[in-house]
């Protein structure tokens, strides 16, 4: 951070530490480096050099996520990728807790995945019945996802604060993934699949 005044540097480091440590997104006016546009621009440049970006939720609160290009590189190297059973459990939770209620108008129409309807363990287990996953395997998966913040801590099952760190592109891809899973023969699914294939061919 050559040329950054020491007072500014302190504000920047304070904001970085708070953004990393806080489990929930922060209200911008609680920290000078988030509230001041000049400092915020500096902060975003610093984050970019670590492969991170500022992410805003539907209420304008801020957290940090991974830059999309960097995240693509990590995934290509198998880093930070969930195990298949954890992906299956998380997918079902997001479907039951967020996607379906939102489609029915029971949740606000936004792209926030980190808040949704609470489910009981029995509700979740019931949906996996006969799918070849044991009760223990699902329970262990739920514990792992809670440690990662992808599910909330506590007895019930609900999407966790780590999902607030998804970039806008990642949030919309999640919606698209669920469409591909739940309605694979729909025209929307065909459109999504076709567009992804075209992107892959251009790369």
Which residues here bind another protein, judged by CB under 8 A?
A: 1, 10, 13-14, 16-18, 20-24, 26, 30, 46-52, 66-67, 69-71, 73-74, 77, 79-80, 146-147, 149, 153-155
Strands (DSSP E) contained in 21-161 are 52-56, 62-66
Decide whether 2 or 109 has the Cβ nearer to another protein. 2
Q: Any idea which residue has 């000078």 for tokens?
A: 32
What angle, rounded to 10 degrees, do the helices at 135-147 and 84-94 form?
80
Shortest CB 97 distance to another protein, Å: 18
Shortest CB 79 distance to another protein, Å: 5
Token pair in block for residue 43: 């902060």
CA 11 to CA 39: how far, in whole Å?
Answer: 8
Decide whether 38 or 77 has the Cβ nearer to another protein. 77
Decide whether 47 or 163 has the Cβ nearer to another protein. 47
Shortest CB 146 distance to another protein, Å: 8
The CB density around residue 97, as the number of other CB atoms within 10 Å, is 24
Decide whether 55 or 99 has the Cβ nearer to another protein. 55
Radius of gyration of the chain (CA): 19
Shortest CB 198 distance to another protein, Å: 22
For residue 56, the SS3 value is strand
Backbone φ and ψ of 62, nearest 5°: -120, 145
List the Cα angle 57/92/96 in 5-degree steps: 70
For residue 26, the SS3 value is strand
Decide whether 64 or 99 has the Cβ nearer to another protein. 64
Shortest CB 125 distance to another protein, Å: 16
Shortest CB 159 distance to another protein, Å: 17
The CB density around residue 66, as the number of other CB atoms within 10 Å, is 22
Decide whether 63 or 102 has the Cβ nearer to another protein. 63
Token pair in block for residue 196: 């992804």
């Amino acid at each position: 951070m050559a040329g950054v005044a020491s007072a500014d540097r302190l504000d920047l480091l304070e904001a970085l530490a708070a953004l990393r440590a806080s489990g929930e997104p922060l209200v911008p006016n609680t920290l000078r480096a988030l509230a001041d546009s000049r400092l915020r621009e500096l902060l975003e440049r610093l984050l970019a050099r670590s492969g991170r970006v500022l992410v805003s939720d539907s209420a304008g609160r801020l957290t940090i996520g991974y830059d999309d290009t960097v995240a693509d590189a990590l995934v290509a190297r198998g880093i930070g990728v969930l195990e298949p059973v954890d992906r299956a459990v998380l997918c079902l939770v997001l479907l039951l807790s967020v996607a379906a209620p939102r489609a029915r108008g029971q949740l606000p129409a936004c792209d926030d995945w980190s808040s949704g309807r609470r489910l009981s363990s029995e509700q979740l287990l019931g949906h996996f019945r006969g799918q070849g996953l044991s009760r223990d395997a699902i329970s262990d998966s739920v514990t792992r996802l809670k440690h990662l913040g992808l599910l909330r801590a506590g007895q019930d099952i609900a999407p966790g604060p780590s999902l607030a760190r998804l970039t806008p592109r990642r949030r919309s891809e999640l919606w698209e993934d669920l469409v591909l899973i739940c309605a694979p023969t729909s025209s929307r699914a065909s459109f999504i699949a076709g567009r992804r294939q075209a992107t892959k061919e251009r790369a």
